[in-house]
Structure 1
């Protein structure tokens, strides 16, 4: 939570159910009703109509109007808004004989991932009262979700309370508090001491200790479409040959990293996305493996030669090869994995300098061209349909957290065709084409998949975690009295 704006903290407002988007997403990424309860598209795919939920109200009590949604979507068509990826030709309010609020999105060409983009937090609809009189400065967050903000102290604390503006049954969780805690050890201590009811992002070391001790909390886990990966500057001469990138991949002992650092050998990445994302996981692909001998052979095939002492490599121009890897400590495992990679590549004969900075260094290095290798954790479910995220990362020109200097017209064409819409059989073939191209060329090198681990206090029933990490699902949580029975008390939830 780095500021008030949706671009900075919208993901948190969405997780706490403060804001709403026109559409939501099911656990498998399919479009679901949000502020819009019904929607349809024209036969040519160029016009989409959305009908808003009758009686929807903002947290200041004002009615949600189609004009408010149009204003929100108009803002989201500008970068970094998600709708900047869509070929939007126009937005307009539709007249309705029955008084229902409806709007229409007009497109220059069909765009199949539009429903997914409309579930992104940057498209959330806010009340006009959220803005200063100039209409440009955001001064408060007045959403339409089941919880309203009662206290906001960026960057650490946010408190919400149930909003009963539309009537209906109240959830068991009437109030909740969110606290951002940077140190993984502190989060684990809060869970163990019962200071919080839900604690997210437990690190591997804390998990290992957790499993060896008796704790007042339980553990809930779900595999998520988040990948620890190496972003490579394929435009740099030293990394432009796919055989060099393949050699770097072959020199990575993923099972060792997953077992020793992540404490979960099942998280060793054999391709970009895990089997829990079946549309984008191809079980027939040869898996990414560890083989130093093959790695050295690929470097020789790329024209590299051993130095006179036989310990290091010279590239095709005869220059000694030294690489720099950038990463950041926002996720505590990243610097540790970076050190492991440094040692594993040293065994191949490649000296690597590890630079630990902040998360903004990788996008900055992409933009100014200075990045060689970046170790990152990339969430591919920022939009429910992963097509949109993959297009953003691997389109021509690449992306801050995606490809850099990489050229692959077949992958670009396949992603563009998926964006435009394709039948089920053709879409499956196009996805395979993308997955195979990424596995072959390795513009990013997958290292490990992620499992979200959450400590759950015994005051609440074990939650069903969101595999897309879009929501904490506060409104669905239930209190327990210790015997599994529901409690009707209006407790706070932290």
Structure 2
């Protein structure tokens, strides 16, 4: 097979790759399945890094989805809610043990969830008043007000359940003893993690004995590792990588639309973005179809609204689609007071329509799309400067109020009812990735009503109302829906990727016969 040079790899990474190859040669009877992704450990806690251990089948949550967004039990066999909608009772599956051989009990679940609650993450926004065990297999969660999506919030990776022995006396995570099909056996820094099959797993037994995860930031490097036989699963590849892999022998590609959207996040306190009219004009100046067809190689990935078809409940045909119309964009900018200057860049009250857009390369197409947006906006007299850095730069610049705009890829499925992300991004207290200096009393009221609504028909109507406000106001501007591109070696089969990215990537995977 043709060899490829791997660009941008540190000496540490080279050592890791070399050791991976040596292990494969020395222990052919104990093959290691290697997964490469852009993800690295963000700290020894589930609040920041639980996604890695959930996707590798090490930790599990009380609930999950059925791949279509419906919430189903995982560690919880069933649950009920009281008539006043304030008390939830969860019954655990029997005969489950953690990786340290201690039993799964309501007490252990309570400890994990209470620590997650104190970390001020997802569960802190779930209106939870108290989490208590009431029997070895029964857990009670009370809320301060009716909170219909609670089971969906419990599917988030930060709510993963680990044994009580995983924590030190201060409640800090020191080990990861989960209940999943794979046991963490070792790590090297924040890059490499080794796992082995859990022989006592309560569900479908894992069919691959040894698995390794490597965090590799460059998409091209990940693709080359599949081509070179140095990896068996490579996640988050580019469309160009996909075409190269499709033409290669011994490799196949999965392209899956997931509930993730590439978005323009705008600082709505700036005069460029402070009015609905200016944001709508900016949206009209964007040729989404051109980006989708020419760069993403998939015309259907153009974003006509916030969430894609894959988001099921949160995609509606009732919205007027976002469109491309340069003439209308110019007209609306003029109506908003913007006039061409000497160099054709728009000006208003002595200020040029000129701003900085930040993005990052961990999601491989973001810098490419940013360059295209730069050219497209220039056609209507908008000067945009692109800065490509790290993903962490965006929250940092939000914190010091220097962020003007950002191009990001936002996952709306980490809480499988997208209300979790929507409330966090557009509600009363937006997080690091949502609306910036924008608030809507109308939207906040709709969000609160949705959270309290258990009637499914009423909830559906509220979803349409929520999406209508976001489509009209455009505090963020959708650009394209996300196609998750995954390269697979022909050494493995049985791959079944969850579009919500909650289940282990290794579910059902086996060595090819």
Could you state the TM-score of these two structures normalised by the residue count of structure 1? 0.92
Q: How far did residue 379 of structure 1 move?
A: 0.4
Q: How far did residue 166 of structure 1 move?
A: 5.2
Write the distance in 2 (CA, Å) between the matches of 1:148 and 1:121: 17
Give the structure 1 partner of residue 5 of structure 2.
Answer: none
Match of 2:334 among 300, 321, 333: 300
For residues 399-478 of structure 1, the aligned pairs below 5 Å read 399-478=431-510
For residues 355-366 of structure 1, the aligned pairs below 5 Å read 355-366=387-398
Q: How far did residue 57 of structure 1 move?
A: 1.0
1:260-280 residue CA offsets vs partner (Å, 9 max, x unmatched): 222222211111111222321
1:144-196 residue CA offsets vs partner (Å, 9 max, x unmatched): 11211112223211111111235676332222111122221211112122222
SS of match in other structure, 1:416: helix
Write the distance in 2 (CA, Å) between the matches of 1:11 and 1:75: 17
Give the structure 1 partner of residue 17 of structure 2.
Answer: none
Q: Does 1:219 align with 2:265?
A: no
Q: How far did residue 358 of structure 1 move?
A: 1.4
Write the distance in 1 (CA, Å) between the matches of 2:176 and 2:443: 40
Q: Does 1:70 align with 2:110?
A: yes
1:397-440 residue CA offsets vs partner (Å, 9 max, x unmatched): 32211111112222221121111124222211111111111111
Are the equivalent residues in 1 in contact too, given 2:242–2:253 (CA < 8 A)? no
For residues 473-488 of structure 1, the aligned pairs below 5 Å read 473-481=505-513
Write the distance in 1 (CA, Å) between the matches of 2:119 and 2:366: 28
Match of 1:268 among 302, 309, 316: 302
Match of 1:236 among 256, 270, 275: 270
Q: Does 1:40 align with 2:80?
A: yes
Q: Which runs of 4+ in 1 moved over 6 A?
A: none
Write the distance in 2 (CA, Å) between the matches of 1:264 and 1:55: 46
Q: Does 1:170 align with 2:205?
A: yes
Are the equivalent residues in 1 in contact too, given 2:256–2:483 (CA < 8 A)? yes
SS of match in other structure, 1:179: strand
Q: How far did residue 135 of structure 1 move?
A: 3.1
Write the distance in 2 (CA, Å) between the matches of 1:397 and 1:75: 22
Write the distance in 2 (CA, Å) between the matches of 1:169 and 1:467: 20
Q: Compute the RMSD of aligned alpha carbons.
A: 1.7
Are the equivalent residues in 2 in contact too, given 1:193–1:216 (CA < 8 A)? no
For residues 8-407 of structure 1, the aligned pairs below 5 Å read 8-95=48-135, 100-132=136-168, 134-165=169-200, 170-211=205-246, 213-307=247-341, 309=342, 311-315=344-348, 317-407=349-439
Worse-matched range after superposition: 112-121 or 457-466: 457-466
Are the equivalent residues in 2 in contact too, given 1:228–1:448 (CA < 8 A)? yes
**Structure 2: which 5+ residue stretches go unaligned?**
1-39
SS of match in other structure, 1:103: strand
Q: How far did residue 372 of structure 1 move?
A: 1.4
Q: How far did residue 296 of structure 1 move?
A: 0.8
Give the structure 2 partner of residue 489 of structure 1.
Answer: none
Q: Structure 1 pair 242/429, CA: closer, same or farther in 2 (3 Å)?
A: same
Give the structure 1 partner of residue 21 of structure 2.
Answer: none
Q: How far did residue 390 of structure 1 move?
A: 0.8
Give the structure 2 partner of residue 486 of structure 1.
Answer: none
Are the equivalent residues in 2 in contact too, given 1:194–1:457 (CA < 8 A)? yes
Q: How far did residue 81 of structure 1 move?
A: 2.2
Write the distance in 2 (CA, Å) between the matches of 1:154 and 1:383: 28
**Structure 1: which 5+ residue stretches go unaligned?**
482-494
Q: Structure 1 pair 197/298, CA: closer, same or farther in 2 (3 Å)?
A: same
Write the distance in 2 (CA, Å) between the matches of 1:306 and 1:366: 30
Write the distance in 2 (CA, Å) between the matches of 1:210 and 1:475: 23
Are the equivalent residues in 1 in contact too, given 2:494–2:508 (CA < 8 A)? no
SS of match in other structure, 1:237: coil
Q: Structure 1 pair 192/423, CA: closer, same or farther in 2 (3 Å)?
A: same
Q: Structure 1 pair 166/206, CA: closer, same or farther in 2 (3 Å)?
A: closer
Are the equivalent residues in 1 in contact too, given 2:245–2:252 (CA < 8 A)? no
Write the distance in 1 (CA, Å) between the matches of 2:442 and 2:382: 31
